[in-house]
Amino acid sequence: MDGDDVRMFGVLPFTTRMTVVRLASGGLWLHSPVQPTLERQRAIDQLGTVEHLVAPNKIHSLGIEPWKALYPSAKVWASPAFSKRHPDIAVDALLTNNLETPWNRDIDHCVIEGHAVLDEVEFLHRRSGTLIVTDMIQKHEAAGNSWMWRGVKHVAGVLGKDGGVSLDIKLSIRDKAALRRSIDTILGWDFDNLIISHGRCLTGGAKDDVRRAFHWIGGS
Ligand SMILES: [Fe+2]
C-alpha cells in the first residue's frame, strides 16, 4: 500500500510504501506502516484484523502510533535501536536475531549487522517467496522527480531498476564482514520477489538482483 511522499533530510523526495502480510492465522502484519487514512483503513479492514505493527528500522516510525491508536490490541515490533531514537513510542519487543516471534512460521527476520547507524531488519514472507526490505535497497522511480533529484539519486545509486544500496549507507559501514554474514543469511532464504519501501518492486529474479546490490561488499 503506497503512502504519502515524504522529504528525506527535509528536501529529498521519497515515495513510501507499507507492506501488508496476511498471516496463516488470518491476522494482519503491517510493515513500515504509512499514515492511515479512512480509505487505507477500509482497505486494511477488508483483509483482516491488524495484529502486528513493524518498525523495520529506527527511521520508519511514522505510522506506528496512528495505527496503534486505531487497533490498540496490535503488538508493536521494532528494530534494535528504535526505542533509543523514539523513547516516547511504546514497543512490545525490539527485534533481535534470536527473538522468537509469534509470526515466525509465516515470516523470518534478520537484523542487518555491520552498519554504524542503520539498524534495519529484513523479512522473508515464506509462502510467497518475498523478501521485504526497507532502506537497504532503494529503486526510486524517475517519474515525479526533478532533473536535479534524478541526478542526485543516480549518483547515490538508487535510481530505477538498477538501484541498490545508497552511497551514504555504503560509506557508513562499520564492519564489512558482519554485513557480509547478514547478507549471506538473506541470500540463503528462499525468495524470488522483492518488496522495498522506496521505489520499484520485483516480481521474479529478485535473488540475483539482491546479490548484485551487495556485490560491492566482496567476499561472496
Ligand atoms: Fe526509508
Q: How far is the CA of 16 from the centre of ligand 1 (A)?
A: 7
Distance 64 CA to ligand 1 centre (A): 14
Q: Summarize the confidence of residues 105-127 as an average pLDDT.
A: 97
Dist. CA 129 → ligand 1 center (Å): 22
Task: Kindly give the distance from the C-alpha atom of residue 197 to the centroid of ligand 1, in angstroms, as a whole number.
Answer: 6
CATH of domain 6-96+109-217: 3.60.15.10
**Residue 8 scores a pLDDT above 90:** no
At residue 55 the predicted structure's pLDDT band, cuts being 50, 70 and 90, is: very high
- Cα-to-centroid distance, 51 and ligand 1 (Å): 23
- For residue 59, the CA-to-ligand 1 centroid distance in Å is 7
Distance (angstroms) between ligand 1 centre and the Cα of 106 equals 24
The answer, yes or no, to whether residue 64 has pLDDT greater than 80, is yes
Integer angstrom CA distances of residue 96 from 41, 101, 119, 122, 149: 29, 10, 10, 11, 35
Please give the Cα distance from 154 to 166 (Å, whole number).
10
Distance separating alpha carbons of residues 182 and 189, to the nearest angstrom: 11
Q: Where are the domains of the chain?
A: 6-96+109-217
60 Cα: distance to centroid of ligand 1 (angstroms): 6
Residue 196: the pLDDT is: 98
CA 174 – ligand 1 centroid, Å: 20
- Give the rounded percent of residues in the chain with a pLDDT score beyond 70: 100
Q: How far is the CA of 157 from the centre of ligand 1 (A)?
A: 15
Question: How is residue 23 written as a grid cell?
Answer: 498471516
Provide the grid cell at 92: 512490545
Q: What is the mean pLDDT of residues 41-69?
A: 97
When the pLDDT of each residue in the chain is averaged and rounded to a whole number, the result is 96
Q: Identify the three-state secondary structure at position 23.
A: coil
Give ion ligand 1 contacts, CB < 5 A: 135
The pLDDT of residue 12 is 86
Place of cell 534495519: 120
